[in-house]
Amino acid sequence: MRDIQHFVNAAAAAGRSGRFGEVFDPNTGEVQARVALASVEDVDLAVQAAAQAQPRWAAVNPQRRARVMFEYKRLVEARLEELANLLSSEHGKVVADSKGDFQRGLEVIEFACGIPHAMKGEYTEGAGPGIDVYSLRQPLGVVAGITPFNFPAMIPMWMFGVAIAVGNTFILKPSEKDPSVPVRLAELFAEAGANLGMDLKGVLNVVHGDKTAVDAILDHPAIQAVSFVGSSDIAQYVYSRGTANGKRVQAMGGAKNHGLILPDADLDQAVKDIVGAAYGSAGERCMALPVAVPVGRKTAEAFREKMIAEIETLRVGVSTDAAAQYGPVVSAAHRDKIAGYIKLGVEEGAELVVDGRDFRLQGFEKGFFIGPTLFDHVKPSMKTYQEEIFGPVLQMVRAETFEEALALPSQHQYGNGVAIFTRNGRAAREFASRVQVGMVGINVPIPVPVAYHSFGGWKRSAFGDANQHGMEGVRFYTKVKTVTARWPEGDVTDAAFHMPTMN
């Protein structure tokens, strides 16, 4: 059986804990590898490597750091087919979706290629008599990222792309469910440096693990900042423990994204958009769209009829099936959790229109598959509406008016993303202005911002004051130093005991 090791100082590291986790093939349900689970000592060794490398890496000028990012992007793109198949084999998402996972991550690497410009400070000449003031951005030191199973390529690149480009060194703790891609990303980063004649040992390190590794990262005094993406309960834990230890923390949590369909919407297009956003990647996305809110009875009935017809055309298959819209979920435990939510929805009184629990794929009966599921007449008081299901389950919550529809995402505990489908520009503008959600799509079902903007939700979808990537990422991974300089001509001035001014 294949062993997946840590990656420290640009080389595989076996680890010292003696503990391992199982890595499954979600298509077959079989164990395909085991992954080393880090001890506190393993994390410390990785941090030591990063701390030793950081001054050397920070001293590399921004232009040369950008060249590493350019070369890194080239290497990942050259191996995209291989990498996407590797990702699909451990996660279960179809290969086309895995390629999108890499592409969205590489867009942040592209942004990081412009780091010489993003790192520029400000300068004021003559702020006072013979006095100039300037500011500059400097890296924090050693920083870390804790990433989820659902995007094992994109989210690590969102984090380490910006963090490393500004001069930090990085500890990545990916999900132990699909750990191979993060290791390959780190190997290719070391290769990018070698191709340019640069030793990047210790710059990007990967430690696998469970809560032991997470707590070791949150407690380590040499780690200056932690970025996290995962469930809201764990995000709150990471934020609380990390900040209590004096770290800068951004922690992105769960979601329950709504899609409002106004009576004037292009209904055929809205159905196409929502079916992809609800069921793509088996719903295992924090920016999935699991709640449809048709406004008015006529809209609801028409939407329901068209959605049922669309669901009937969906093809669920193994991750290598080019014709499949989505594949299995990541684990048997997660499949059973989703099935439990479907059962609970029925018990709560929602109408189960399409039931995906009995789906079986011929020849892959032990795979972690679950079919597309549709509920109607879901009420805001229901637990299945209030909580994140994270699976291929779409819930219809009917609203009579625009105001009633607007209140649903605004009052929900999560505030990650939301979408509105309409031809009415005024309604869309008012919705975007008033809705209490961090990312808004107007006729865009999954409003993940482009890399030079930033990603982040509100309420229990995000803890901390900084968003992911873009200039928000640059600010998160740097600290500002402001210098006030005077070059006297030789005359001695009297001591000043009052607060200095620039008069």
Q: Which helix (H) or strand (E) holds 413?
A: none
Q: What is the pLDDT of residue 464?
A: 94
Q: Which helix (H) or strand (E) holds 215?
A: helix 211-219
The fraction of the chain above a pLDDT of 90, given in percent, is 95
Closest CA to 388 of 276, 274, 232: 232
Mean pLDDT of 119-129: 92
Ordered by start, the domain boundaries in the chain are 2-253+461-483, 258-442
Q: What is the CA radius of gyration of the chain?
A: 25
What digits encode the pLDDT tens for the residues 12-48? 999 999 999 999 999 999 999 999 999 999 999 999 9
* CATH domain 258-442 topology: Aldehyde Dehydrogenase; Chain A, domain 2 (3.40.309)
DSSP assignment letter at 283? G
CB 172 within 8 A of CB 182: yes
Amino acid at 384: T
CA dist., res. 261 & res. 397, Å (int): 11
Q: Please count the residues of the chain.
A: 503
pLDDT over 90 at 494, yes or no = no
Name 235's Cβ contacts closer than 8 Å, sequence gap at least 6. 228, 229, 251, 252, 253, 254, 462, 463
Q: What is the pLDDT of residue 89?
A: 97
CA dist., res. 407 & res. 387, Å (int): 17
Mean pLDDT of 77-92: 98
Closest CA to 104 of 118, 120, 117, 93: 93
SS3 (DSSP) at 96: helix
Closest CA to 294 of 284, 285, 305: 305
CA distances from 159 to 24, 135, 155 (A): 26, 24, 6
- Ramachandran region of residue 281, left (φ > 0), alpha (ψ -120 to 50) or beta? left
Residue 133 sits at the vertex; the CA angle it makes with 127 and 134, to the nearest 5 degrees, is: 145
pLDDT interval class at 503 (50, 70, 90)? low
Burial 40-56 (b: 16+ CB within 10 A, else e): bebbebbbbbbbebbee
pLDDT interval class at 491 (50, 70, 90)? confident
Residues paired with residue 352 on neighbouring β-strands, in sequence order: 375
Q: The tokens of 109 are what?
A: 């690497």
Number of H helices, E strands in the chain: 16, 23
**What is 2-253+461-483's CATH number?**
3.40.605.10
Closest CA to 254 of 409, 71, 387: 387
- From the CB of residue 480, how many other CB atoms can be counted at a distance below 10 Å? 11
286 is catalytic: yes
What digits encode the pLDDT tens for the residues 389-433? 999 999 999 999 999 999 999 999 999 999 999 999 999 999 999
Mean pLDDT of 347-355: 98
Record the pTM. Answer: 0.95
Q: What is the pLDDT of residue 72?
A: 98
pLDDT over 80 at 106, yes or no = yes
CB 37 within 8 A of CB 187: no
Q: What is the pLDDT of residue 291?
A: 98
CB 327 within 8 A of CB 94: yes
Q: What is the pLDDT of residue 502?
A: 67
Mean pLDDT of 265-281: 97
Going by DSSP bridges, is the β-strand pair 462-463/248-252 parallel, antiparallel, or unpaired? Answer: antiparallel
Which residue out of 4, 36, 118, 286 is catalytically annotated?
Answer: 286
The pLDDT mean for the chain works out to: 96
